[in-house]
Amino acid sequence: MKLGCYMNKQLPLRIAATTARPNSRFQLFLLAFLLFSTGVFAQKTQVTGLVQDAKNNPLAGVNVNVKGTQTTVATDEAGKFSIEVPGRNSILVFSFVGYATREEKVGTRNTLNTTLELGTADLDQVVVIGYGTQKKRDVTGAISTVSEKTIDEKQPVTIFDALQGAAPGVRVMSTSGAPGEEADITIRGLSTLSDAGVRPLYIVDGVPMNNINAINPKDIASIEILKDAASAAIYGSRSANGVIIITTKRGGEGKPQVDVGYLRSHNWLSNRISQANRLQRQMFDRRGNLGLDPKPDDSTSFSRNSDNDYQDLITQTAVRNQVDLSVRGGNKSVNYYNSLQYLDETGIVISSYNKRFTLRTNVEYKPANRLTMVSRLNFSYQTKNNINEGNVIQQSLQRPPGMALYFPNGEYIYFNGGRRNPLAEAYLREDISKIYKGVLYQGLDYKILESLTFHADASADLTLERRTYFSSKFLTSSNPPINTGIDATIFPIRLQGNAFLTYKKLFKGSHNVTAMAGMNFEKNKREEANIEGSNFVTEAVTTLNAAGLFSLSDLYSKASASSLLGFYGRVGYDYKGKYLVNATIRRDGSSVFGPENRWGNFPSISAGWRFTDENFMSWATDVLTDGKLRASWGVTGNAAIGDYDAFQQFEFGTYFYNGVSGVRTSPRMGNSALKWEETTQTDIGLDLSFLGGRISFIGDYYVKNTEDLLYDFPLPNELGFPGKVRTNIGSIQNKGIELMVTAYPVRTKDWSWQTSANWSMIRNKILSIPADYIDDIWTVQQGKEAGNFFGYKYLGIYQYDQSNAYTDDYRTRLTPVFQKDAEGNLVIQKNMQPVLLGYTLPDGTAYSGVVRKLTTAGVVSKGGDVIWENIADDKGVYNGDIGNEDRQFLGHGQPRWSIGWSNNVTYKGFSLSFNIYGNFGNMVYNDNRRNLASFSNSNTTPDAYFILNMWKYPGQITDTYRGGDRSTDNMRRGGSQYLEEGWFVRLQTVRLGYEFPDRISKKAAMEDLNFFVYGTNLLTWTDYTGFDPEVGQRSVLKPGNDPGRYPRRTEVGFGLNITF
Amino acid sequence: MKAIKIFVVVFCLVGIFSGVGCKKFLDEKPISTLAPENFWKSETDATSWMAGIYNSVQTTLRTNWFDWGEVRSDNVRVGGTGNAQLTMITNTLSANDPDINGTTQWTELYTTISLCNYGIKYLQEMIDKNVEGKASLYQDYKGQCYAIRALMYFYGLRVWGRMPIHTEPIQSLAQPTELPRSPIADVKKRIQDDIAQSLNIIGSSTTQKYYMQKGAVYALQTDVHMWFQEYDDALTASQNFMSATGASWVSNITEWKDIFLNPVTSKEAVFNLFWSAPERGSAVGVCQKLGSSSNTNQYEIVTDIWLEFKNRIDPVTNKSSDGRYWALWDTVTYSDPAIYDAAVVQLGKFSPWRGTPGSGFTLQGNSDCDVKIPIYRYADVMLLRAEALAHKNRFQEALDIVNAVRNRVGYKVQAKLLDYTGDIMKGIERTILKERQLELIGEGKRWFDLLRIGSDYDYLREIMNPILTARQSQGAILFEGVNMGRVFYPINSAMFDANSKLRGDQNPPYDE
């Protein structure tokens, strides 16, 4: 609030005076309510009436609102209503889904009957587009809107939670469930090959932003997602991945409205995974040697005297507390919106937390008749403790459950047999991020003529991000122990401005012409400073002045900068709203490209045809209220690369030798020919509205071709540039279908049900690339999808040593025949081996040729080893070794289709909403499970399933390889036994709310009183055995790897919203 | 229509304004890095570039000095529990094994070569312009560039065999970037030419032990000739080495220890790789590999070698007499073979004694290890010379060198020519090789010795196959048949992905 006052001081006196007025009004208003609550309020007028449709049927459930107030009633079964109005000048607003909204002035009437016409109120909604707004009915591009109400129903911590599953073609991806973890959004698939380039452009109230993590979801009035090129191309060079426009709330005309909210929730680990207990660990230790464990397990045997449930020990019931306060209001010349939010949440892993404070002030004022000015101020502060996933989560999954965590005197056992103590790691390793962010915005609109408006704005976006890290000496394995600390500061700053003219005129009543032209500039600078030190004089002080030793290469400050200049224009024409055409052009120059290729052009064109307005369609108007066919084409760009990727650079600062700071080539090669990545997108869409908007349908089909991919090209390793080179190479295609249906199946006086379902399918294909290659367990292949898993196909486990037997050409596996006794039991010799009699071919006939055995990396496979699929070379010849050439396509890393389904059911004051979403068609590599069963350390403990099922004796039929043996690399990365189905369907949120009747809330001087309970991530249907199938989808070329990340939580909470 | 006029006028004005101002607005030069055109202008530039090259040599050899030069030999057994260690000692390397990718990739080696290529080209320009009057200094630097490039190609030759040869700095994508592997003869010629070029101009300081100088280049030349079994040339080179370095034998075990601890003042040190963990921000791999205060070391020296030292007994006192015995190990802790066998033995060769000689070592942790690895030293080259002498039937001279090596560390039992019968040359060669093995243990030399002796790798097979046979239960592969190709390292799969000219040219029997 302090900041808000400060703002006001900066404004001309006249403005200050006008903003003061609502305050006095507010006092009046409070006084009024005081009077009201004691029953003395008497100036009101009671108005009653009947609402009917054109055929004189009474309409039940129609919303009747006193304009500019919160006073709202609904018509009863007979279509009748009764409402109190403050005076004779009041206006009543009648709104009902499927009907055109109607306004009636009360005047002298006490009885007010009215008729509602079938109409499409929904289509009159205003949609925010690039540098302007449009009526939804006139939109010719593919734009999804997420409303305030949709956001509220999810009780989101961040915008990402709000957007997940809300719109087709929009995928929200997070890598872990840590509190405060930033997520990413992708729109219409991954149209580039670099992870940094898949993010959409975020525009918050006209200001481009790199991340939207710090925005309070309660401040949002609407989110518009510009998906196709025609909508996005006006943002030119950064629009290839779509644009997300966020509009925050503003004040409205009327008395001040105060909203107070409180929310509290409890969170816990949503899914436990299989983990061995002490007995199972003992079974694993004794795998080769049946019998009791001879080693002691008394109080001194710290490796064996406990039975820890680590998942229970490192997790907690986390608590989220959130307090919201907002005030909004205004009059004809000024309106304001102020909000404060404080969020305090602990994480489900011990010692992790996230706290956030946000403040927003939006003020709009009219210093002169033709002049409107907007001042916006947004500040946020976030602090969180980051958990070291490797040392806390992954160690606790690996550590033998029998290993004690404490000495008898209560001290931690920090290390034991190479294993760390996950509790000590969580408590004694501090990694705190503090992010301060402020956005200042000043905008101006001047109406030069009735049809011509000039707009200018300038804004500054400043972020100060500090990371302080301290690791106690007890946590290091060094001897003598060393404590280490880091103090790192990043200071990105962005200045930008826009100036544009908007022209809008209706000619001869039916020709609508709009035009807009303007320019945009942007300057980015990023400064950073880093201090790392060790050998602290005391652990009581963790700032770096206490460090005793500094490493030269970890002390530095550096900076980088970029700038962007853009010119844009749009022309629109429609004839009676029936035929619509829009065209845009943008020309962008960016400093990050080579001097010759700095400028790029981004044109687009779109057209719409409202066929329901044609005479020949008039027969259908009873059912099909509105129908529009859209088509669009455009070119968008991507410039998400390093500031200096086009430059050859010599580096220094970390290349010392014998006291001299060395200079050398940057590991990355500069490429002065760098230019834009261009995405050409064609979209065909159909918008249908049935039964007066009761059912609406939106469908889109698109093809997105991206060329000159900004690709981090791996140079030959012989050149001295291991960090690759950024080039424009290859092309990629995304094709998809998006469908969305929204309907109001039930709408009566007491009951209503609104439902919305969306489905999207996407197919990605790398059209061309200079050379196919394999990156870890993924391939990058021409003609294939990006992010395909590539590895060794698991076929089973060799039952006996003798089961590894193949024909001479390795083509056919042979079946060993063993000696059996009269009862048909296998005869096992003293050496535990059966007696081999011979081999048969799969058809049962005896095989007498040469018997071959397969090797893996040169070592012969035995009983209990994995049977890998051997693949023939291009001549059809099999070799006897399972090696790199035996890798093959195993599955897709990216989801291929997604669903979202949201519902809202109300009964009188009760409302129930729930959302479901799901992803399908992808695989997840459970690397955590593989890692546990890789015996890389004798104290790494496989999961319980592995221990119970591992191969133990010749002849055992099982799906799990031998324990403890690494020689044949059964656990090789890329082995398909760890590749699991990644599909899931998640009950994302459920919310049950109750709005107290007016008679109760009004007694407490409240306009509205709303209580709710809610839950998030309550149920997940999946086949995946790890913590959560939603992993690592941020990466374009290497998606779906699960190394054991911060697990997700289930949240249940309640809250209260009060409006005064 | 008025509106449209205003619209057009404003738009034109903006267009004119932007046409003038845009270019400047969009000109963003790197702030914290340097454009190459602003470099090569002063003496400091040249000195800094050399520091960058040596830093890159550090990166290249940080762990590879040992992984390339010693791990697969008869010196080593596994200490820790990592997958990589087992893979190395069982001879089951493969081209795409994440555990050993650091060893099978040649990226860092070629980064060093690339920096040398820059140095060779641009230092010449500085010489031509005589920048700041320091042309002779740049000559020395350029000589060091040639020498380091030769050293790098020589490592590559011994580890992978045929290597692609790059001699020009790559500065744009327009240059040819993909080269195939060159034949051995070409790689050899490249190395020898670089050595010759270097010797013409490199400095001849005998006190700069952390930089390559003339003595170190002659050491390299000796090593290369010995690799190709060119004994006459090796004798010439080692003779030049002796006069160029002015090095001489140390006189006791404390001085011997100083070869590693204080190379700058050591009489035997020739070229050690400098290391300072706080300066570099990372530690050298010596502690991690062989002896660390913070963790189990990955490898340990086999009991036989320890026993060999222990059994070098003074005939009179009947006590161990070879000073290297307690210069290498804490002999109080490891007192008999059973104890040695059971322990994860730490090698203290590169660490100072806690007190007096024999008092155990002050070992460093994995992350603060700053051992200055010896790359070439006097005893190394002299023992190579001894081998060459033996091959030239100058047996007594050869044995004199062996005896000098022994005497200086207190082991006075002499190797006498009379003791050899039958194939005297071979007998003496084996004595020399044993002495090399003992003297240079942990210095990344033994594997290359195993490879270069005899023909068709018969020495390697003689030594290693029995050891690998014993490790067969762990899946070890012998050097025989198709697996003879395993004398080389696999070229990492990532190298093929990035260079199409390499495809189909993996070292058999490895796959790409």
The DSSP secondary structure of A792-852, one letter per residue, reads BPEEEE-SSGGG--B-TTS-SB-EEEE-B-TTSPBPB-TTS-BPEEEEE-TTS-EE-S--B
pLDDT tier, A883 (very low <50, low <70, confident <90, very high otherwise): confident
- % of chain A at pLDDT higher than 70: 94
Tell me the CA end-to-end span of chain B in Å, nearest whole number.
Answer: 71
Q: Is the pLDDT of residue B16 over 60?
A: no
**Mean pLDDT, rounded, of chain B:** 92
Give the closest of A418, A452, A669 to B3, CB-based: A452
CA distance B57 to A617: 79
Q: Which of A9-23, A946-960, B170-184 has the lowest mean pLDDT?
A: A9-23
Going by C-alpha positions, the residue among B448, B269, B279, B450 that lies closest to residue B373 is B269
**Average pLDDT score over residue span A189-211:** 85
CA distance B4 to A452: 9
Helices in B161-292 by DSSP H: which ranges?
Answer: 184-201, 214-227, 231-245, 253-261, 277-280, 286-290
**Average pLDDT score over residue span A549-553:** 86
CA distance B442 to B87: 19
Q: Is the pLDDT of residue A18 over 80?
A: no
What are the chain A neighbours of B95 within 8 Å (beta carbons)?
884
**Average pLDDT score over residue span A189-201:** 83
Give the closest of B51, B172, B363 to A655, CB-based: B51
CB contact B462 to A (< 8 Å): no
Chain centroid, CA A734 distance in Å: 20
* Nearest-neighbour CA in chain B from A663: distance (Å): 5
Give the closest of B50, B106, B281 to A717, CB-based: B106
Contact A715 B498 (CB under 8 A): yes
Contact B511 A664 (CB under 8 A): no
ipTM (interface predicted TM) = 0.94
Contact B177 A501 (CB under 8 A): no
* Nearest-neighbour CA in chain A from B251: distance (Å): 28
The confidence score (pLDDT) of residue A135 equals 83
* Nearest-neighbour CA in chain B from A819: distance (Å): 26
**Average pLDDT score over residue span A621-637:** 89
CB contact B102 to A (< 8 Å): no
Cβ(A778)–Cβ(A893) below 8 Å: yes
pLDDT tier, A41 (very low <50, low <70, confident <90, very high otherwise): very low
The confidence score (pLDDT) of residue A665 equals 94
- Residues A760-797: tens digit of each pLDDT: 999 999 999 887 888 889 998 999 998 899 999 999 99
The DSSP element (H or E) to which A555 belongs, if any, is: none
Contact A650 B86 (CB under 8 A): no
What phi, psi does A763 have (nearest 5°)?
A: -130, 125
Q: Is the pLDDT of residue B22 over 80?
A: no
* Closest CA in chain B for residue A450: B3
The confidence score (pLDDT) of residue B5 equals 66
Give the closest of B26, B114, B367 to A563, CB-based: B26
- Residues A749-760: tens digit of each pLDDT: 788 888 999 999
Cβ(B381)–Cβ(B231) below 8 Å: no
* Closest CA in chain A for residue B164: A718
What are the chain B neighbours of A650 within 8 Å (beta carbons)?
33-36, 39
Looking only at the bridges linking them, the beta strands covering A855-856 and A881-882 are: parallel
pLDDT tier, B17 (very low <50, low <70, confident <90, very high otherwise): low
- Residues A412-457: tens digit of each pLDDT: 998 887 788 999 999 999 999 999 999 999 999 999 998 899 999 9
Q: Which of A162-166, A171-175, B442-446 has the lowest mean pLDDT?
A: A171-175
Contacts of A575 (CB under 8 A, 6+ apart): A510, A511, A512
Contact A567 B509 (CB under 8 A): no
CA distance A853 to B363: 47
Contact A721 B500 (CB under 8 A): no
Contacts of B349 (CB under 8 A, 6+ apart): B260, B290, B291, B327, B328, B441, B442
* Closest CA in chain A for residue B502: A716
Query: Partners of A571 in the beta sheet?
Result: A515, A583
Q: Is the pLDDT of residue A210 over 90?
A: no
Q: Output b/e per residue, A861-882; b: 16+ Cβ within 10 A.
A: bbbbbbbbebeeeeeeebbebb
**Average pLDDT score over residue span B279-291:** 91
The confidence score (pLDDT) of residue A124 equals 67
The confidence score (pLDDT) of residue A380 equals 93
- Give the sign of the dihedral formed by CA A211, CA A217, CA A220, CA A224: positive
Tokens encoding A561: 């900068």
Give the closest of A551, A652, A773 to B497, CB-based: A773
**Mean pLDDT, rounded, of chain A:** 86
Going by C-alpha positions, the residue among B277, B198, B221, B234 that lies closest to residue B398 is B234
The confidence score (pLDDT) of residue B13 equals 60
CA distances from A1 to A6, A379, A461, A1059 (A): 9, 11, 20, 19
**Average pLDDT score over residue span A927-941:** 87
* SS3 sequence of A663-730: EEECCCECCCCCCCEEEEEEEEEEEEEEHHHCEEEEEEEEEEEEECCEEEECCCCCCCCCCCEEEECC
Cβ(A148)–Cβ(A221) below 8 Å: yes
Q: Is the pLDDT of residue B18 over 90?
A: no
CA distance B205 to A293: 65
Q: Is the pLDDT of residue B289 over 90?
A: yes
pLDDT tier, A704 (very low <50, low <70, confident <90, very high otherwise): very high
The confidence score (pLDDT) of residue A522 equals 93
- Residues A710-732: tens digit of each pLDDT: 888 888 999 999 888 898 988 99
Contacts of A453 (CB under 8 A, 6+ apart): A445, A446, A447, A501, A502, A503, A504
Question: Is residue A342 exposed (0-12), middle (13-18) or buried (19+ Cβ within 10 Å)?
Answer: middle
The confidence score (pLDDT) of residue A211 equals 80
- % of chain B at pLDDT higher than 90: 77
How many CB pairs below 8 Å do chains A and B form together? 282
Residue A39's CB is within 10 A of a number of other CB atoms, namely 7
Proportion of chain B in helix, strand, coil states, percent, rounded to 5: 55, 5, 40
The confidence score (pLDDT) of residue A98 equals 62
Contact B115 A665 (CB under 8 A): yes
**Average pLDDT score over residue span A361-366:** 93
CA angle B430–B346–B277, rounded 5-degree value: 105
pLDDT tier, A8 (very low <50, low <70, confident <90, very high otherwise): very low
Q: Which of A289-298, B81-90, B244-253 has the lowest mean pLDDT?
A: A289-298
- Residues A296-312: tens digit of each pLDDT: 777 778 888 889 999 99
Query: A84 by DSSP, 3-state: which?
Result: strand
CA distance A192 to A678: 10
The confidence score (pLDDT) of residue A163 equals 85
CA distance B329 to B357: 11
- Residues A459-497: tens digit of each pLDDT: 999 999 999 999 999 888 777 788 999 999 999 999 999
Contact A666 B179 (CB under 8 A): no
- % of chain A at pLDDT higher than 90: 46
What are the chain B neighbours of A858 within 8 Å (beta carbons)?
91-92, 94, 475, 477, 483, 509
CA distance A133 to A118: 25
The confidence score (pLDDT) of residue A423 equals 93
Give the closest of B82, B281, B498 to A551, CB-based: B281
* Closest CA in chain A for residue B115: A664
Any idea which residue has 């296998």 for tokens? A826
**Average pLDDT score over residue span A959-967:** 88
Query: Partners of B11 in the beta sheet?
Result: none
Contacts of A750 (CB under 8 A, 6+ apart): A907, A908
pLDDT tier, B10 (very low <50, low <70, confident <90, very high otherwise): low
* SS3 sequence of A248-280: ECCCCCEEEEEEEEEEEEEEEECCCCCCCCHHH
Q: Is the pLDDT of residue A69 over 80?
A: no
Tokens encoding A219: 């401040």
- Residues B131-155: tens digit of each pLDDT: 999 999 999 999 999 999 999 999 9
Q: Is the pLDDT of residue A29 over 50?
A: no
What are the chain A neighbours of B2 within 8 Å (beta carbons)?
449
